[in-house]
Structure 1
């Protein structure tokens, strides 16, 4: 799908204006925001002797998770393919008076040069990638020893199945419509020293209401 990069970027640019209207995207409701903070921050972890971590938020969208991380004192770098998403993320952190760095670029190969991170966070991105296995290897390579990979994923119906097309060739993506916890665990396990799955389908406060599909977090250590 690399030949469709411009189309993919345009799709998410067009979605940027309304993106935060989804409860789990914008985290505008205090209960939803608190639910995500209560989950996300322990997944990422803390330094043994205090202080913030260097966190890479890949596919950061409008920066809602980056906002939670920066608010907890972490040093955040966000990457997204869509420039308008990145613009909104920068504005969101600026309006909150919180520092963060946001880059427009391919989240599967983050343009962060030789930088290494204590944690890499990714939410609901893998289904959009032409080579998710390569992206996973890339993200793990960006981690320092002892670092954590946090993947919030699920298996759901992709928008195109509901009459709204994603992009040309989307149906041929390896994880079109999402990825099960079993599949993702099998892909990640050879790259890390330990991993666990935390089911999230039953936690309606995370999603702004009940969901009936598979949603989970995979938390791995290298």
Structure 2
């Protein structure tokens, strides 16, 4: 996401990640889970987390409408946070299975999605190794997660395995600035991942990717300096 200065593993020039088991030096999964539990209450106060501004919310909903299937589909929303994207996808007629590491994020996501009944289910789990049935999803969606993962290519491989034939992998990713890398643990994509590099990995694991740049400030609540983009690939 595009908020600033909200995580101990990120510099003030980059977004706070969705809650995943990112590897911080000397940190256990339980410590990371507690961190996100503590952060959950303020998570939605940032423009591209809670989407409280109507223009920002509309921009994301229109983006999802364009890149998700036009018919009702089953979507895995990995590292779903407080469930904002899950709600938008349900509003578009999809069924959503959200996964998040933080119990508090899961609680808030369940509360937010309650009006949608069985259209949205949320469970606690590691987005890097999602506790979901392989070959059962029409869409796997993840937003700003990969840079936090110690093994992003393996995570992508697991995500690809969740897709049915012809299913879609939809990722929102970007670059947060090379200056951020010095403050973070040694992770493969610790300063984010350029679209060209991610496209190369996805091409091998899933299928030919399509990339659209998301440089309009309406998505982020501010002007951005580095690449932000959506990538979609259809499983072979």
For 1:61, what is the secondary structure of its paired residue?
coil
How many Å separate the matches in 2 of 1:7 and 1:153?
Answer: 25
State whether structure 2 residue 220 is matched by structure 1 residue 217.
Answer: no
Structure 1: where are the runs of 5+ without partners?
A: none
Is the contact between residue 71 and residue 98 of structure 1 (CA under 8 Å) also seen in structure 2? no
**What is the deviation of 1:114?**
4.4
SS of 1:134's equivalent? Answer: helix
State the TM-score, normalizing by the size of structure 2.
0.83
Q: Aligned partners of 2:32, 2:55: CA distance in 1, in Å?
A: 32
Deviation at 1:157, TM superposition (A): 4.4
Tell me which residue corresponds to 1:6.
Answer: 30
The answer to whether structure 1 residue 156 and structure 2 residue 169 are counterparts is no
Report the CA distance shift for 1:143/1:115 in structure 2 as closer, same or farther (over 3 A): closer
Q: Which runs of 4+ in 1 moved over 4 A?
A: 95-98, 160-163
> Cα offset for 1:45?
1.5
Question: What is the distance in 2 between the residues matched to 1:54 and 1:42?
Answer: 16
Distance 2:94 2:63 in 1: 15
The Cα offsets for residues 142-184 of structure 1, whole Å up to 9 and x where unpaired, read as: 00111100000001049x9499x7xxxx421111121111111
Q: In 2 relative to 1, CA 98–157 (structure 1 residues): closer, same or farther, beyond 3 Å?
A: farther
Shift of 1:10: 1.7
CA RMSD of aligned residues (A): 2.2
Question: Equivalent of 1:85, from 105, 117, 127?
Answer: 105
- Deviation (angstroms), 1:110: 1.1
Shift of 1:40: 1.2
Find the aligned partners of 2:118 and 2:55 in 1 and give their Cα distance.
21
1:62 paired to 2:86: no
Query: What count of residue pairs does the alignment treat as equivalent?
Result: 211
Deviation at 1:192, TM superposition (A): 2.0
SS of the counterpart of 1:171?
A: coil
Q: CA deviation at 1:108?
A: 1.2
Structure 2: any 5+ residue segments left out of the alignment? 1-22
Determine the C-alpha separation between the residues in 2 that align with 1:13 and 1:213.
29
Q: Does 1:19 align with 2:43?
A: yes
Pick the aligned partner of 2:63 from 28, 39, 45: 39
Classify 1:116/1:83 alpha carbon distance in 2 versus 1 (closer, same or farther; 3 Å): same
Question: Partners in 1 of 2:66 and 2:156 — Cα distance?
Answer: 21
Query: What is the alpha-carbon distance in structure 1 between the residues aligned to residue 107 and residue 209 of structure 2?
Result: 33
Instruction: Please state if 1:140 is matched with 2:160.
Output: yes
Matched, 1:186 2:200: yes
Counterparts of 1:76 and 1:162, CA distance in 2? 34
2:119 is paired with a residue whose SS is: coil
CA distance in 2, matches of 1:127, 1:89: 23
TM-score normalised per structure 1 = 0.88
Which residue of 2 is the match for residue 119 of structure 1?
Answer: 139
Equivalent residue of 1:216, what SS?
strand
Aligned-partner Cα distance in 2 for 1:112–1:186: 25
